[in-house]
Amino acid sequence: AEAAGYEQLRAQQTDARKQGRLFGIGIASYAELTGIGSRIAVAPGMPINTGSETAKITIDSTGAITAAFGVASHGQGLETTLAQIVADDLGARFEDVRVIQGDSDEVPMSTGTYASRSAVLGGGAAKHASFLLRDKIRRVASYLLEANQDDIDVSDGKAVVIGTDRAVTFKQVAKAVYSDMKTLPVEAREELSAAYTYDPINGTTAAATHIAAVEIDPATCFVRILKYVVAEDCGKIINPMIVDGQVHGGVAQGIGAALFEELIYDDDAQLLSASLVDYVIPSAPEVPVMDVVHIESESAVAGGFRGMGEGGTIGAPAAVANAIADALSPLDIDVSILPMTPERIFRLLEQARLKSRGQADE
């Protein structure tokens, strides 16, 4: 409300109504389960395991890092966020991490990307696998640097003795393990690979509040969105630009559901809006500039993450519908169906006029 300037919007609405304009403000809040763990997945008797995900991270003989996941990106930048998690927790350089996604040959025990679960479950698995592999690096480095394992820190692709300039790179660690048979004792020559299957048991929740201000043109019955603000909580943010992009895209989808997109059938159940010629989606002019407020309350799962995928979509249709209902409320009109197309608004206005005339005649 503060970011939207809610009190000022209400004052603006009062002035608009004095001029006979149809100006409305809508609010919608929601909370949803995201990244659900096995306890919730099992409860309704689901036939597949949706409550866990596996990450497998390997350093090869050149020091290159490959992180394999069953979850996969479909436009939400997941390959970037997973690489960031691995780089941060393994102590690697971001540019040295290669992410393999959705390959059942690499990670057969996965159910994939859906239901705002990838950052919570895939990211949790990445963190744990990274910690395991980092400990292996420290153990090898303790031999190479002749130092206690507890005195070694791993960062920026190197293992360093804390407080000194003595260090070995991941490439040197890999060479000692895979190539230089004289450097390490046999028992210290561990494969530089780690896998972890993460189950958050209950999972976590995500929440957001949307505020929309709209104005309806009484002549054309078109809805113009004047202001849009989202305050969302996806837990600890991995990549702010990606989170902003997901909210923007989700709100655009929600505006489509609220104002444009509809499956229309004839009396014979033939779909009449089966192509993008007839099925209307919002384009750039219909999607407003929006403000996104990030609330970072860390969840109880690994990394403090919460699901983000539906952060923009869920609240948007309700916020826009509520704003339209608020704009039409002086005419005693309510909104009970979406999309609220110009034709539907026209019919509602006509019904209100007829009702008003009938009451006047009485």
198, 220, 246: which is the final residue of a domain?
A: 198
Distance of CA 84 to the CA centre of its chain: 15
Strand partners, 305: 235
* Global pTM value: 0.90
Identify the sign of the CA torsion 150, 152, 153, 157: negative
User: Looking at residue 46, what is its pLDDT?
Assistant: 76
More confident residue, 22 or 311: 22
298 inside domain? yes
Same-domain pairing of 286 and 341: yes
172 inside domain? yes
The pLDDT tens digits of the residues spanning 14-64 come to 999 999 999 999 999 999 999 888 888 777 777 777 889 999 999 999 999
Residue reference for tokens 């971001």: 94
How crowded is residue 353: how many other Cβ atoms within 10 Å of its Cβ?
11
More confident residue, 46 or 232: 232
Number of domains in the chain: 2
Same-domain pairing of 241 and 333: yes
- How far is residue 259's CA from residue 293's CA, in Å, rounded to a whole number? 24
Same-domain pairing of 146 and 233: no
1 inside domain? no
Identify the helix (H) or strand (E) that includes residue 229: strand 223-233
Average pLDDT of the chain is 93
198, 232, 264: which is the final residue of a domain?
A: 198
Same-domain pairing of 298 and 320: yes
Domain containing residue 83: CATH number: 3.30.365.10
Same-domain pairing of 113 and 244: no
Structural domain range at position 283: 6-35+203-361
Three-class secondary structure of residue 266 per DSSP: coil
Same-domain pairing of 55 and 151: yes
Q: What is the mean pLDDT of residues 258-279?
A: 95
Determine how β-strand 152-155 pairs with β-strand 158-161: antiparallel
Grade residue 361 by pLDDT with cuts at 50, 70 and 90: low
Same-domain pairing of 22 and 125: no
Closest by alpha carbon to 294, among 258, 334, 247, 253?
247
- How far is residue 87's CA from residue 96's CA, in Å, rounded to a whole number? 8
Same-domain pairing of 255 and 138: no
Three-class secondary structure of residue 28 per DSSP: strand
Closest by alpha carbon to 76, among 101, 43, 45?
101
The pLDDT tens digits of the residues spanning 89-128 come to 999 999 999 999 988 899 988 888 888 899 999 999 999 9
